[in-house]
Amino acid sequence: MFRHSIRALLVALSTLTAASQAATAMALAVPAEPHTVAPAAQSPRQQTVSDLTTTMKGEAFAHASYGLFGTQADREAHPAVGKLFRATAQTELNEHLKQAAALAGTVGTNEANLRQAINGETYEHQVMYRGFADQARMDGDDEAAKLFTEIAADEGRHRDAYRMALTAVTTGRGSVPAPPKADMVPVPAGMPKVKAARTMANLDTAMHGEALAHAKYMLFAERARQTGNQALARLFEGTAGVELHEHFAGEAALAGHVRMTKDNLRTAIAGEHNEATNQYPGFAKRATAVGDTAAARYFRDTAAAAAKHAAAFQQALDQLH
């Protein structure tokens, strides 16, 4: 642990030294050879970071949804469509979301990742799910109220486990807790099981939050594994599994998120089409305008990938007719 903090200090010092050397070099080099000095890595502007966050939410939601749509396609004996949904789901997570996270600087040290996770869990436990449960109860959506209350309790346990892990990581006291096990909730095709429009809207918000939590924890797990902290990697992965297979799935079942495969394909096509023609080109334009060239390139590439996804889903739909 002590060795760790020394190393962190050395890294911080060398960064500082490098930065001041670069500044000096820059001052000395102008106007002689400005191109020999590499420009400092630019962090994206606030609007770009906000667009990247929106992107991550959408990609995480697509990842989670396509997983369920794939299972439904298998139920209907359309294995090729199931395979297409699962392969696309992986692209959304491992390419699109991951690249957006890299540009936005979402993944930090194990300590920073744990703090981010604790903040998210605390908000969901104390504020979000309690508010959603009250609303659902008020509107007579008792099943949703029950689910929101159960999930609120889970998030409290996630927060506590992450707090213990943070203590272990920062002080070396105690140990990283064992990961929670997910109860897989099946989500067969069906209509919404709630009455109020407000409950539906809150289910949608909750599903986006769960999908994003799942995706982030998978990235945090990867980071923990790279640093050699296997126990922390397992905690993040186990918790990610609960967010997806239990929380997202439970909410999706109530929201009637999964329909018959033809309708799921139509939903997917509409989402990909919107990304390809509207959302990502708009984000690219904004990023270009403020000089966030790496982000602009990412948005353009991801728009093109979304157009390909839409075309592949359309082809699958045509073959089912």
CB 262 → Fe ion: shortest distance, Å? 18
What's the token pair of residue 54?
């929106």
CB 47 → Fe ion: shortest distance, Å? 20
309 binds Fe ion, rule: CB under 5 A:
yes
Concatenated DSSP letters of 110-166 = HHHHHHHHHHHHHHIIIIIHHHHHHHHHHTT-HHHHHHHHHHHHHHHHHHHHHHHHH
Give Cα separations from 154 to 125, 186, 252 (angstroms).
Answer: 8, 19, 17
CB 159 → Fe ion: shortest distance, Å? 8
Give Cα separations from 4 to 167, 225, 234 (angstroms).
Answer: 14, 16, 21
141 binds Fe ion, rule: CB under 5 A:
no
Which of 51, 141, 155, 251 touches Fe ion (CB under 5 A)? 155
Q: In the complex with Fe ion, which residue's Cβ is closer, 92 or 292?
A: 92
Count of Cβ atoms closer than 10 Å to residue 302 Cβ: 24
* Residue span binding Fe ion (CB under 5 A) among the ranges 75-83, 121-129, 185-193, 215-223: 121-129
CB 127 → Fe ion: shortest distance, Å? 13
Interface with Fe ion (CB under 5 A), residue total 12
Q: Is the peptide bond prior to 186 cis by the omega test (within 30 degrees of 0)?
A: no
Concatenated DSSP letters of 32-56 = T-GGGSPPPPPPPPHHHHHHHHHHH
* Residue span binding Fe ion (CB under 5 A) among the ranges 44-52, 89-97, 171-179, 228-236: 89-97
* Residue span binding Fe ion (CB under 5 A) among the ranges 48-56, 109-117, 187-195, 205-213: 205-213
Q: In the complex with Fe ion, which residue's Cβ is closer, 25 or 281?
A: 281
How far, in Å, CA of 275 to CA of 58, rounded?
9
Q: In the complex with Fe ion, which residue's Cβ is closer, 22 or 234?
A: 234
158 binds Fe ion, rule: CB under 5 A:
yes
Q: Segment 210-249, which members bind Fe ion (CB under 5 A)? A: 210, 243, 247
CB 62 → Fe ion: shortest distance, Å? 5
How far, in Å, CA of 28 to CA of 24, rounded?
6
By the 10 Å C-beta count (0-12 exposed, 13-18 middle, 19+ buried), 149 is classed as: middle
CB 2 → Fe ion: shortest distance, Å? 32
Q: Segment 48-77, which members bind Fe ion (CB under 5 A)? A: 59
What's the token pair of residue 47?
């609007």
Which of 44, 60, 67, 92 touches Fe ion (CB under 5 A)? 92
CB 310 → Fe ion: shortest distance, Å? 8
Q: In the complex with Fe ion, which residue's Cβ is closer, 47 or 274?
A: 274
* Residue span binding Fe ion (CB under 5 A) among the ranges 47-55, 73-81, 196-204, 308-316: 308-316
Q: Segment 246-305, which members bind Fe ion (CB under 5 A)? A: 247, 272
CB 61 → Fe ion: shortest distance, Å? 10
Q: In the complex with Fe ion, which residue's Cβ is closer, 26 or 277?
A: 277
Q: Is the Cβ–Cβ distance between 256 and 68 less than 8 Å?
A: no
Count of Cβ atoms closer than 10 Å to residue 171 Cβ: 9
What sign for the dihedral angle of Cα 213, 214, 219, 221?
Answer: positive
Contacts to Fe ion by CB under 5 A = 59, 92, 96, 121, 155, 158, 210, 243, 247, 272, 306, 309
